[in-house]
Amino acid sequence: MKFRVSQAHRLCFIQGVTLASKITLLRLLLVPVFGYLAVRYGHSVDAGNASESTRWAALAVFVTASASDGLDGWIARRFNQKSKFGAFIDPIADKSLLLTAVITLSLVDWGPDGWRLPIWFPMLLILRDCVILGGITILYFLRSRVKIAPHWSGKVCTVTQMFAIGWVMLKVVPFSPIYPCLVAAVFTVWSTVAYVRRGIEILRTDPTSAA
């Protein structure tokens, strides 16, 4: 009986790993590759011999990983490959890539005169995720129906964060990276407030709430 249950679970897992899920897993595997290349390039900058080939390699890995986010979603919708495994691993891959990028690019210089993301930027992003995760946890333990639709500010927040990352890596515009970070910070705070307000609304209106 134990063997049959194990086989059933294994079969369920295999069926959940669709082409879309495999692309998501590839994105997750690219995260440490990007982190390694980003740190290596930063060290070459510190040594006074910036390896531009390493910078372009890091950028290529980041762009490939970012593009796979849209690709796996399109494949899942187009070919009906939505699965519980995909829904579980996709946000993990997304957050891993984003946080690895902002943390790495805030710790190593990618150019002269402190060309990096300000240290408060990743701290703000991590705080936002903690607040949202904490709110969802509270709703769960109060037995409320947790169904929060994505807010437009959250999508703009992600776009502006990626723009700030690209600003540092591309080094096209000679202005300090703090400017795109300030724009991203505004939408990061805005989206956090939006989700907190939505959570409060659920607590006040959901009849299953313990309050």
Out of 1.10.600.10, 1.20.120.1760, 3.10.450.50, 3.40.190.10, select the CATH number for domain 16-110.
Answer: 1.20.120.1760
Q: Residues 6 or more apart from 160 whose CB is under 8 A from it?
A: 180, 183, 184, 187, 188
Sketch the domain layout of the chain as residue ranges: 16-110, 117-211
Q: Residues 6 or more apart from 181 whose CB is under 8 A from it?
A: 117, 118, 121, 164
Distance CA 91, CA 150 (A): 13
Report the pLDDT value the prediction gives residue 146, as an integer from 0 to 100.
Answer: 62
pTM value?
0.83
Joined tokens for residue 5: 């249950």
Report the pLDDT value the prediction gives residue 112, as an integer from 0 to 100.
Answer: 87
Strands (E), 27-158: none
Q: For residue range 123-140, what is the model confidence (pLDDT) as tens digits? A: 999 999 999 889 888 887
CB atoms within 10 A of CB 77: 11
Distance CA 207, CA 104 (A): 44
Report the pLDDT value the prediction gives residue 113, as an integer from 0 to 100.
Answer: 85
3-state secondary structure 82-119: CCHHHHHHHHHHHHHHHHHHHHHHHHCCCCCCCCCCCC
| Per-residue pLDDT at 62 exceeds 50 | yes
**Rounded (10°) angle between helices 84-107 and 52-78:** 160
Q: For residue range 1-48, what is the model confidence (pLDDT) as tens digits? A: 444 545 544 544 445 578 889 999 999 999 999 999 999 999 999 999
Distance CA 15, CA 9 (A): 10
Q: For residue range 175-204, what is the model confidence (pLDDT) as tens digits? A: 999 999 999 999 999 999 998 998 888 778
